Amino acid sequence: MEKPIVTALLAYGMSGKVFHAPFLATNKGFELYAVLERNEKKAVNDYPEIISFSAIDELLSDEKIELVVINTPNNTHFDYAKQALESGKHVLIEKPATTTPEEFEILLALAEKVNRKVFVYQNRRWSSDITAAREIINSGKLGDVIEIHLRFDRYRPTISAKTFKETPIPSSGIWYDLGSHLIDQAISIFGKPVSHYRSKNSYRENSLVDDFAFMHIVFPNKVNVFITTSMLVSDAQAGIVIHGTKGSFIKEFCDEQENQLIDGMSPLDSNFGNEKPNKEGKLTYINANNETIVESIPSIKGNFNALFDEVYESIRKRKSFSIDNQDIIEQLKLLT
């Protein structure tokens, strides 16, 4: 392996602490070098060797830094990514990449001009549940896919203390926050959408942003994908339901990587990415003998680390990144 990519985080809230730092610190392809912390200096408690900058200009002027993770509030992604690119850094941007597809296209043009790369952190392409669903679809056991229902729900009836998530500014609300995951999963499987319809609204008391959203997307070959996300689901429904001409697949939303990271499990732990027992998906299909077959399908091990591996391979070895930029543009068109 070539030398690790010297990397900096632009924040050390939940995103930095849970979804980025544990991988950057344990993946041999990266060196977790610096973090931007304007107020409290917390990262050093977990990573004693890390450098904590108080201003973004100071961080971006450090010539050792090669990759900057843009894990700040959604509405800041474009400006910070632009600054990082202009400073000669590669960027890994949290979802949603930007507020509009036009902003993302500006970043792509700038990256080409300065010979740097733009990556988008769509980690849930590597969730255990959607990976299992993708394999079932590709197996052909369902026949031609007719409809897919994807849900990402929480029960959080009160207003969050994170004001940037609850203030009606560009790219706030549950649609940009969680809907972006589900849209990306659908696009990663079926490609460019043909048409769509969306509805979103607010239901929590005193909510100023959307906390419920629904979208019906039609993909080529008449595939219908129904996406729902809500902050007011006390009894979570199946996260993945697929119906085809020959069968159906039903799967709980149960990727464990986020919970494991919150609990402090290292990505190097042998159990990391494994789902809990009795969370298998149910596959029902009609075989060639016209028999109804019911199978219990365990999820494949979740692997968010694969995204970081691909970033490394792209920067150091110029290999392609599986999250195509055109996919991100299509995603942003649906979000907006």
Q: What is the distance between the alpha carbons of residues 115 and 43, in angstroms, rounded to a whole number?
A: 31
- CA 314 from chain centre, in angstroms, equals 18
Q: What is the distance between the alpha carbons of residues 135 and 122, in angstroms, rounded to a whole number?
A: 19
The single-letter code of the amino acid at 227 is I
Count Cβ atoms below 10 Å from residue 108 Cβ, excluding itself: 18
- Confidence at residue 76, expressed as pLDDT on a 0 to 100 scale: 97
Question: DSSP secondary structure string, 189-234?
Answer: HH-S-SEEEEEEE--STT--S--EEEEEEEEGGGEEEEEEEESB-S
In this structure, what are the phi and psi dihedrals at residue 52, rounded to the nearest 5 degrees? -110, 115
C-alpha closest to that of 151 among 248, 254, 235, 237: 237
Give tens-digit pLDDT for 116-132: 999 999 999 999 999 99
Do 241 and 248 contact (CB within 8 A), yes or no?
yes
Give tens-digit pLDDT for 158-199: 999 888 889 999 999 999 999 999 999 999 999 999 999 999
Using left for φ > 0, alpha for ψ between -120 and 50, and beta otherwise, residue 273 falls in left
Q: Both tokens of residue 22?
A: 């544990």
- Confidence at residue 292, expressed as pLDDT on a 0 to 100 scale: 97
Q: What is the distance between the alpha carbons of residues 146 and 212, in angstroms, rounded to a whole number?
A: 25
In this structure, what are the phi and psi dihedrals at residue 304, rounded to the nearest 5 degrees? -60, -25
Going residue by residue through the chain (336 aa), what tens digit of pLDDT does each one get? 689 999 999 999 999 999 999 999 999 999 999 999 999 999 999 999 999 999 999 999 999 999 999 999 999 999 999 999 999 999 999 999 999 999 999 999 999 999 999 999 999 999 999 999 999 999 999 999 999 999 999 999 999 988 888 999 999 999 999 999 999 999 999 999 999 999 999 999 999 999 999 999 999 999 999 999 999 999 988 999 999 999 999 999 889 999 999 999 999 999 999 999 989 999 999 999 999 999 999 888 999 999 999 999 999 999 999 999 999 999 999 999
Contacts of 180 (CB under 8 A, 6+ apart): 95, 96, 122, 331, 335
Q: What is the distance between the alpha carbons of residues 187 and 191, in angstroms, rounded to a whole number?
A: 5
Cα separations in angstroms, 292 against 136, 147, 187, 246, 251: 16, 20, 30, 10, 19
- Confidence at residue 163, expressed as pLDDT on a 0 to 100 scale: 86
- Confidence at residue 1, expressed as pLDDT on a 0 to 100 scale: 65
Cα separations in angstroms, 87 against 69, 71, 90, 114, 193: 14, 17, 9, 9, 35
pTM recorded for the entire structure:
0.96
CA dihedral of 80, 82, 88, 89, whole degrees rounded to 10: 50
Length of the chain: 336
